[in-house]
Amino acid sequence: MREDVRRKKPPLPIQVNDRVAQMKRESSALMQRAEALDDDKLKEKEALIQQANDVLKERPLSIHQCQQFIT
């Protein structure tokens, strides 16, 4: 099988990959902060988890927006 047949999508530009990696790191950091909190700070913990999930939800939109600006 040829290499170009296996590749369905072209690779993302470096700027897009950097932005996606930054968003993953941000989400991971928020999750770690949430996990480190005690159970008595449940509201703050839930807010951090929600914030981390929101960052991950923005990722596909960010990829699409970055590709529009680059092309």
Specify if 65 maps to a domain: yes
Q: What is the pLDDT of residues 6-56, one digit of tens each?
A: 656 777 778 878 888 898 999 999 999 999 988 888 999 999 999 999 988
The CA-based diameter of the chain, rounded to the nearest angstrom, is 57
Is the CB of residue 15 less than 8 Å from the CB of residue 70? yes
Specify if 18 maps to a domain: no
Specify if 70 maps to a domain: yes
Domain enclosing residue 49, as ranges = 29-71
Task: Identify the pLDDT of residue 19.
Answer: 84
Q: What is the pTM of this model?
A: 0.66
Specify if 20 maps to a domain: no
Q: Indicate whether 64 pLDDT > 90.
A: no
Specify if 34 maps to a domain: yes
Split into its structural domains, the chain has a count of: 1
Specify if 8 maps to a domain: no
Specify if 43 maps to a domain: yes
Specify if 23 maps to a domain: no
Is the CB of residue 50 less than 8 Å from the CB of residue 30? no
